[in-house]
């Protein structure tokens, strides 16, 4: 359906074990899946076996839930199961930590994509766009789905990607977008206060 000029990635979100992963191997081969993201939960003992099988077939395993901090990257480099990392600003702790992680990955020959947070607002989409522009060696840039996922956004500008997934630098200072006070007020209706209880 998509043709041969795109890579198909699948995100398993930690739900496979080895037996379930094996059942999907024919589909992975038939549809020429290029990247499998986080097939099993972090530290799942069967990740090693599945990684070995996938490496033999040329499919790349990408870590997401297993890869949040610089410490996690060190373990990933040591284990060698994952050859790509999903770096997300929201998960990795903002620009400073994400850039440190990316530098570590570069030095250790591990590729990466800049990922996003499903349903993120235009603010985080704009920040993700900047990280993509700063790190042009990312294999994939994922994000800016705003108009496709959100009924209403908190930004004045539409930060969504354009046709064919193209996304240019945003114009303007800072993150390149402004927060719409009107939309923010409408979206926070009924949520004017937050109660936090700590044990
Ligand atoms: Mg993921």
Residue 113 within any structural domain of the chain:
yes
Residue 73 within any structural domain of the chain:
yes
Considering only CA atoms, give the Rg of the chain. Answer: 19
Structure token digits, residue 86: 């999903």
Containing domain of residue 174, as a range?
9-187
Structural domains counted in the chain = 1
Residue 167 belongs to a domain with what CATH number?
3.20.20.120
Count the alpha carbons within 13 Å of 180 in the hemisphere toward its beta carbon.
16
Residue 4 within any structural domain of the chain:
no
pLDDT value, residue 108: 97
pLDDT value, residue 4: 85
- Structure confidence by residue, pLDDT tens digits, 170-182: 999 999 999 999 9
Residue 152 within any structural domain of the chain:
yes
Which CA distances in Å does 107 have to 32, 74, 102, 104?
29, 11, 9, 5
From the CA of 111, how far away is ligand 1's center (Å)? 16
From the CA of 156, how far away is ligand 1's center (Å)? 28
Q: Which pTM value belongs to this model? A: 0.92
- Structure confidence by residue, pLDDT tens digits, 151-162: 999 999 999 999
- Structure confidence by residue, pLDDT tens digits, 59-102: 999 999 999 999 999 999 999 999 999 999 999 999 999 999 99
From the CA of 114, how far away is ligand 1's center (Å)? 11
């Amino acid at each position: 359906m998509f043709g041969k000029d795109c890579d198909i990635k699948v995100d398993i979100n930690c739900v496979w074990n080895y037996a379930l992963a094996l059942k999907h191997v024919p589909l992975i081969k038939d549809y020429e899946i290029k990247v499998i993201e986080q097939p099993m939960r972090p530290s799942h003992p069967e990740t090693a076996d599945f990684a070995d099988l996938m490496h033999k077939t040329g499919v790349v395993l990408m870590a997401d839930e297993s890869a949040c901090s610089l410490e996690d990257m060190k373990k990933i480099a040591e284990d060698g199961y994952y050859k790509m990392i999903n770096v997300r600003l929201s998960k990795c702790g903002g620009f400073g930590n994400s850039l440190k992680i990316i530098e570590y990955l570069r030095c250790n020959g591990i590729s990466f994509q800049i990922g996003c947070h499903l349903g993120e607002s235009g603010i985080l989409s704009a920040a993700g766009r900047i990280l993509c522009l700063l790190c042009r060696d990312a294999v994939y840039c994922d994000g800016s789905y705003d108009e496709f996922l959100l009924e209403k956004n908190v930004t004045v500008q539409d930060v969504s990607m354009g046709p064919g997934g193209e996304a240019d630098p945003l114009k303007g200072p800072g993150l390149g977008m402004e927060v719409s006070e009107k939309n923010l007020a409408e979206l926070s209706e009924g949520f004017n206060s937050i109660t936090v209880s700590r044990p």
